[in-house]
């Protein structure tokens, strides 16, 4: 199978200027603000997005230079498979975040619950749809215990 080539459709702006200190997940950091700048040529694709309270951002982990199939995360000191965690150093370093859409001005989306480093290239935006995306009674594997005191968690420099 050949290579797949994508092109950024925008840039994500946030207060997180470096890897350290980024919330490990936006859902755990309700007040983190950010802006999604969609390049003007894609602005028509935003039609009707204002009706959604939450959106899914897909983006490129541009600071991730290599990958590890086994990795330690910010949540414990065990090694887990990269596909069993959300860490950035993945074979294809695509990140996804569910964020809250506060308002839209032109080609800029104002969001909260953002856990994304400033300057991150945006790949796609999808509406978060409760009937498609909510699963209840899930089993959350090795994360179950680790997330009990999750509000405290911020990234450190271990992926630098």
**How far apart are CB 146 and its own copies at their closest, in Å?**
10
Cβ nearer to its own copies, comparing 8 with 33: 8
Q: Are 115 and 100 in contact (CB under 8 A)?
A: no
Residue 160 binding its own copies, by CB under 8 A: no
Q: H/E element holding 130?
A: helix 130-133
CA 71 to chain centre: 18
Contacting its own copies within 88-107 (CB under 8 A): 90-92, 94, 96, 98
Within a 10 A sphere around the Cβ of 147, how many other Cβ atoms?
A: 14
Residue 63 binding its own copies, by CB under 8 A: no
Give the binding range for its own copies (CB under 8 A) out of 13-21, 79-87, 152-160. 79-87
Residue 5 binding its own copies, by CB under 8 A: yes
Q: Is 36 exposed, middle or buried (0-12, 13-18, 19+ CB in 10 A)?
A: buried
Q: Is 132 exposed, middle or buried (0-12, 13-18, 19+ CB in 10 A)?
A: exposed
Residue 137 binding its own copies, by CB under 8 A: yes
**How far apart are CB 46 and its own copies at their closest, in Å?**
5
Cα–Cα distance between 32 and 14 in angstroms, integer?
A: 8
Task: List the one residue from 72, 123, 153, 154 that touches its own copies (CB under 8 A).
Answer: 123
Interface with its own copies (CB under 8 A)? 1, 3-9, 11, 25, 27-28, 38, 42, 44-56, 58, 60, 69-70, 79-86, 90-92, 94, 96, 98, 121, 123-144, 147, 150
């Amino acid at each position: 199978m050949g290579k797949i080539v994508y092109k950024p459709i925008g840039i994500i702006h946030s207060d997180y200027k470096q890897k350290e200190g980024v919330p490990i997940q936006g859902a755990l950091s309700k007040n983190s603000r950010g802006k999604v700048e969609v390049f003007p040529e894609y602005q028509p694709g935003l039609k009707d997005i204002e009706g959604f309270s939450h959106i899914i951002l897909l983006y490129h982990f541009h600071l991730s230079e290599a990958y590890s199939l086994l990795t330690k995360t910010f949540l414990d000191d065990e090694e887990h498979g990269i596909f069993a965690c959300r860490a950035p150093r993945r074979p294809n370093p695509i990140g996804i975040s569910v964020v809250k859409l506060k308002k839209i001005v032109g080609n800029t989306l104002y969001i909260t619950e953002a856990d994304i480093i400033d300057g991150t290239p945006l790949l796609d935006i999808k509406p978060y749809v409760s009937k498609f995306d909510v699963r209840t009674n899930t089993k959350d594997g090795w994360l179950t215990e680790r997330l009990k005191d999750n509000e405290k968690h911020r990234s450190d420099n271990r992926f630098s």
